[in-house]
A and B are shown apart, each in its own frame.
Chain A
């Protein structure tokens, strides 16, 4: 894994110079996203691809906001395949990649 999987510059720009706001956004990200990731995996495991697509759709802007670019394409593939009910090997591998990267991001953000 590379050193830093996220980039807060977009968030900092939105914050207009407020570090408190950036910190609060990181806290909110850490509060909600692990649960969303779990829900995605559970949905996939029980074959509820619609739900998988819907969660991926919701989580996608947050991944973009934190500039987690390593999974830019994978989260979109999960969303697309989920919505269209396409259970393919690419879906599984993309979901795995999303999960792996996000878990690393959670660790990195907690240690920042």
Chain B
């Protein structure tokens, strides 16, 4: 912050002189005095950081000057300094937007000094908040979702469309595909949401019995252990966005309550009868196939349609082609930057190895693998042997460790493909190079489900 400009408006020359001298003991303060309200108003264009305004001026009353200041420069804090110890006047002035009310007694100068420091501190904090907000906006800007694949370009377009409106968005995709990143990108790209909160709730991480209170809040004494009133996540997200991650894990009874909240646009805290209006944009994510969950009776159909909104399905990394290299390089660059290391290259062999791998843990796994490679490599080059896959759920070893019969393995493989390709028997038969009648026969024998 540059110099801190203070207007001191008081027709008492002696008092004004004393206060100016005192405030000027801080060399950051530039104190300018005015003897009338009109002089002060005429100089507002110079944008003071703070105004100390005497309540009794010869030309205009303190409240008139305050109103005129607030009309045109509502952000300038105005501290009323008055010889009157009148509580009702003070309350009226504070209601009109005065920052503080100081009585001209023996402590007045000290209180004015403190008020100036408080305003200065608040201004610094506001600057800091603006700077951090810009940083966060940039961090989660959707241009930071790396990749060039056609499938990702479609995702960019959907995020843009989602950001332009208030539509509910359902984000699906395997674990590690970046569902939360997309939710953040939608929130932070929505211009009307930037100053409102994004409240994320991981449904799977909260025990069922606590989830209702977590989402909707509770009143003091609503249940054993509710020692204080608590505001729920929906209320906290008011005006902003609530992101319900792993929505597929929500208990059926709570699904009914969530549906009601979404329909009525109001929440009622546990133990209260008073609904609270909410206006929060809803984003949901799941790695489950919700339609399938509905079919199996594990997810309410009405809630499914309420939440579906704009569906964004994130592709697994293995279907994003060359994005794995772009992302891999990005993660290595970020890692070396954060650790102040020299730049590291990916050799063609390393890139080939990355492209051949299935990445079951998706982007999250890629990030971990690349960071480890950056640590293990020599001569600022990541080679094929520096890349070690650590997935716990992939590979033949894992598959055959179940020790089943060959027929069972066949059934598992075919069922996996049927699940993956929307029960399209013809497509699966073609992909596995088997007869479709073979699949139909297994279905008929109830060995497979379609």
Contacts and interface: CB of A to CB of B under 8 A. Distances in A.
A54 to B, nearest CB: 8
Nearest to B11: A58
Contact of B15 (A18, A65, A79): A65
Contacts of A33: 14
B18 A11 contact: yes
Given A60-B83, A61-B83, A64-B106, A28 B14 contact: yes
A64 B12 CA distance: 13
A61 B56 CA distance: 13
B21 A61 contact: no
Interface string A16-33: 101001001100110011
B106 A32 contact: no
Interface residues of B, number: 19
A103 interface: no
Interface residues of A, number: 23
B25 A32 contact: no
A61 B17 contact: no
B105 A32 contact: no
Given A57-B83, A61-B104, A32 B22 contact: no
Contact of B12 (A18, A61, A67): A61
B105 to A, nearest CB: 7
Of B14, B15, B108, which is in contact with the most chain A CB atoms at under 10 Å from its CB?
B14
A47 to B, nearest CB: 22
A58 B12 CA distance: 7
A86 interface: no
Contact of B13 (A32, A54, A57): A32
Nearest to B105: A64
B109 interface: yes
Interface string B1-43: 0000000000111110111011001000000000000000000
B14 A32 contact: yes
Contacts of B19: 14
A108 interface: no
B59 to A, nearest CB: 13
A18 B24 CA distance: 12
A93 interface: no
B106 A10 contact: yes
B54 to A, nearest CB: 10
Contacts of B108: 61
Of A10, A18, A32, A65, which is in contact with the most chain B CB atoms at under 10 Å from its CB?
A65
B27 to A, nearest CB: 12
Nearest to A61: B104
A60 to B, nearest CB: 6
A57 to B, nearest CB: 5
A16 B14 contact: no
Given A28-B14, A57-B83, A64 B22 contact: no
A67 to B, nearest CB: 8
Interface in A1-59: 10-11, 14-16, 18, 21, 24-25, 28-29, 32-33, 54, 57-58
A70 interface: no
Contacts of A58: 11-12, 56, 83
A29 B14 contact: yes
Contacts of B105: 64
Interface string A56-88: 011011101101000000000001000000000
A24 B17 CA distance: 10
B56 A14 contact: no
A62 B83 CA distance: 11
Nearest to B109: A14
Contact of A28 (B17, B106, B109): B17
Nearest to A24: B17
A15 B15 contact: no
A61 B22 contact: no
B18 A25 contact: yes
Contacts of A60: 83, 104
A62 B14 contact: yes
The 4 A-B pairs with the shortest beta carbon distances in the complex, nearest first, are A61-B104, A14-B22, A16-B25, A61-B15
